Structure 1
């Protein structure tokens, strides 16, 4: 049985919407199996019989009731006895997703974020991640003696409007809370911009070296937002994204990412 996904999307309501190209009708009782990489329980959904003459089939699966935990989930079609029948890994030709659609998805307050994607080998998979509120970074510079960053407030539930909200960018040294540098930030709707003097960073503490942690404090939100870059198709930014460095009074500085795709300012 050859089945190819031509279009894959997780909707705003966390429904996996698939368009399938099939050579023959799916038998009654065909199941979509989601298997987490690295082991653990599987989730199964019965698809039924889409139609005897159909060569293109639409499938919608609500992901919330499946209780999928964070991780990568591969997809299979299974026929026959559950757990013992024949399985076929689902191929996918959908090239990906648009950032605009991901931005709209990230405006809602969520606990988990689901994303459908095509693997390097051309198969359909799901990525499930915790959707903690975050200041999602879109651009970062070291220029004119400043650390400057822009981005989007994600998973906060804040309305995307023209309202201005008081906010502050804080930069914390690796040694702890002493020596925190803060500056006013601009937040309009869900977009933010902030620029902080690198000279103030050096003046904050004589112990320069280490990874300084930025966060965005927005009035109306209970906790500061970490700065990270998660709403895109670039995994492993610590290896793949390299920013040019600069020197302030002989001390080198450059932005970088952690293994969890959180932004840091490397000093020294």
Structure 2
């Protein structure tokens, strides 16, 4: 995330670490004791709030200051283990600390809903296999399905899957997706389904930006149909099936 609000560091106190804990409290570690209050200012509206409690913060970017100065921080704010643990609590709002390009502390607040955070994809041997963790939702136990839904058409296909608490594993055979394809290209979105509830599959907690162009999975083939998983512009996991032209 880049800098917001045009702030620069100008000799204020510097925090060693600055993280949002699972109970939505801001935890700041100073190089020496300090009892000064941290103030948050919404970058768009100018609204100010004390950082003692983060409940009720409106979505957007909040800039942190300490004793009237932008709060510098040495902490980039990224810990995949920490973010996975934070996402393990059911919630409808995410508060994430990050360091701006100016080296100051800011919080990003956004609304969230339950989904499966994808941690592994294997595309091989006629199957697409997925591993992941439930993010922001309740744990689930028992059998499930991995559902592939075409963006055009009404014939979803599915494969066996399981939930074990937060953990999800499932797979779908690509031949079932390619069967009867008549259009040159068909896109499928992937979901985990259990007890009548579908959770989208996505990878949003890492620090990889622009996954759609940076992450490429190996392709498989069903006759002349190339099958390749890919990330959408919103980091959702999808599959593209493309009928390749015959070589002359």
Structure 2 equivalent of residue 76 of structure 1: 65
Q: Distance in 2 between matches of 1:94 and 1:73?
A: 16
Q: What SS does structure 2 have at the residue aligned with 1:183?
A: strand
Query: Is 1:90 equivalent to 2:80 in the alignment?
Result: no
Structure 2's unaligned 5+ residue stretches are 1-10, 243-248
1:32 aligns with 2:39: yes
TM-score (norm 2): 0.83
Residue of 186, 191, 204 corresponding to 2:162: 186
* Distance in structure 2 (CA, Å) of the matches to 1:227 and 1:105: 18
Partners of 2:35 and 2:155 in 1: CA distance: 66
Structure 1 residues 168 and 23: alpha-carbon distance in aligned structure 2, compared to 1, 3 A threshold: closer
Runs of 4+ in 1 over 4 A off after TM superposition: 21-26
1:185, distance to aligned residue in structure 2 (A): 0.5
Q: CA 1:2–1:167 in structure 2 vs 1: closer, same or farther (change >3 Å)?
A: same
- Decide whether the 8 Å contact of 1:142 with 1:246 is kept in 2: yes
Secondary structure (helix, strand or coil) at the match of 2:65 reads: strand
Instruction: Call closer, same or farther: CA 1:74–1:25 in 2, change over 3 Å.
Output: closer
1:161-240 to structure 2, matched below 5 A, reads: 164-176=141-153, 178-203=154-179, 205-207=181-183, 209-219=185-195, 223-240=197-214
- Matches of 1:186 and 1:118, distance apart in 2: 38
Counterpart secondary structure, 2:86: helix
Would the aligned equivalents of 1:257 and 1:263 in 2 still touch at CA under 8 Å? Answer: yes
* 1:42 aligns to 2:23 (yes or no): no
Equivalent position SS for 1:61: coil
Where does residue 56 of structure 1 map in the other structure? none
Q: What is the RMSD of the two structures over their aligned residues, measured on CA atoms?
A: 2.4
Q: Structure 1 residues 210 and 22, CA, compared in 2 at 3 Å: closer, same or farther?
A: farther
1:67-122 Cα deviation digits (max 9, x unpaired): 221x333323463xxxxxxxx32221114343222222212210101111223442
Q: Deviations over 1:150-190 (max 9, x none)?
A: 1001111227xxxx4121111011203x2211111121121
How has the CA–CA distance of structure 1 residues 255 and 73 changed in structure 2, closer, same or farther, with 3 Å as cutoff? Answer: farther
Aligned length: 232
Alignment partners' CA distance in 2, 1:24 and 1:16: 15
| Unmatched segments (≥5 aa) in structure 1 | 46-59, 80-87
Matching residue within 108, 111, 116 for 1:130 = 111
